[in-house]
Amino acid sequence: MARKRRKIPRRGEQLSFRPRGRGGARPGAGRPLKPGAGVPHLRRTSLSIHHPVHVTLRVLRGVPNLRRRALMKVIERALRAARDRFGMRVVHYSVQANHLHLIAEADDARALTRGLQGLCIRIAKRLNQHLTRRGKLFADRYHARALKTPTEVRHALRYVLQNAHKHALERGEFLPSGAIDLCSSARYFDGYADRDRNLVLEGWSRDPPPISSATCWLLTTGWRRRGLLRTTDLPGLPRPPRARKR
């Protein structure tokens, strides 16, 4: 029986190979994720100096509740020491049990990265020293989202400053009218429509604010065109309708 002659490709012709079922993109391929990793290591988008950023930083499991007053003072000292460094400015913040929310301004994406790296190092060193622990403190790389419209900025301010109120309501706790979260920058915030601006918080820190003043239009003026916040506004709840003028 005569053998089948092998076809010889012409000059410049692409050779073809039969797939063998291995290699290539497939589900589950690649380096496995670390336990608890929640932020994918994708290339970060460019950042404009005109757009503030909502940043979330999570700590590892086993770290005590960050809302303890002693730990809050340590975090605020770190924020105060890191003010206006590397072209990044923290304008608002909120500390929850196992994570931090920041609203920051940065000259560009590199300034944001360097500023957050420096801030995280300061917080980790000071908290580790206070808690007599060693090692890594933050669980993963930070999550950042640029805020490009007045509506986005207003929603982010409400989310950051009122987040503890929402969690309290979910636990069945009812806070008094006009109450603000002392584990946040709400006590320095002048954008509430229903808060007494002359309110004095007895027994709390008398140190200078650990935040910087806003400079971009969206944080100084733009978001206010969508209406001031109220201390009863909670993230995830519909905004009450405005009263019509007669």
SS (H, E, C) the chain: CCCCCCCCCCCCCCCCCCCCCCCCCCCCCCCCCCCCCCCCCCCCCCCCCCCCEEEEEEECCCCCCCCCHHHHHHHHHHHHHCCCECCEEEEEEEECCCEEEEEEEECCHHHHHHHHHHHHHHHHHHHHHHHCCCCCCECCCCEEEECCCHHHHHHHHHHHHHHHHHHHHHCCCCCCCCCCCCCEHHHHCCCECCCCCCCCCCCCCCCCCCCCCCCCHHHHCHHHHHCCECCCCCCCCCCCCCCCCC
Separation in Å, CA 167 to CA 116, 121, 236: 26, 28, 11
The per-residue pLDDT for 53 is 96
Q: How far apart are CA 45 and CA 42, in angstroms?
A: 9
For 184, other C-beta atoms within 10 Å of its C-beta total 24
Burial classification of residue 131, based on how many CB atoms lie within 10 Å of its CB (0-12 exposed, 13-18 middle, 19 or more buried) = middle
Token pair listed for 143: 């999550």
Token pair listed for 198: 């002359």
CATH topology of domain 53-224: Alpha-Beta Plaits (3.30.70)
The per-residue pLDDT for 8 is 64
Q: Which residue has the tokens 């560009």?
A: 108
- Per-residue tens of pLDDT for the chain, all 246 residues: 566 666 665 665 665 556 555 555 555 555 565 555 554 544 455 688 999 999 999 999 999 999 999 999 999 999 999 988 889 999 999 999 999 999 999 999 999 999 999 999 999 999 999 999 999 999 877 889 999 999 999 999 999 999 888 878 878 877 776 788 889 999 899 999 887 655 545 445 567 889 999 999 999 999 999 999 988 888 765 555 555 555
The per-residue pLDDT for 42 is 45
The per-residue pLDDT for 191 is 92
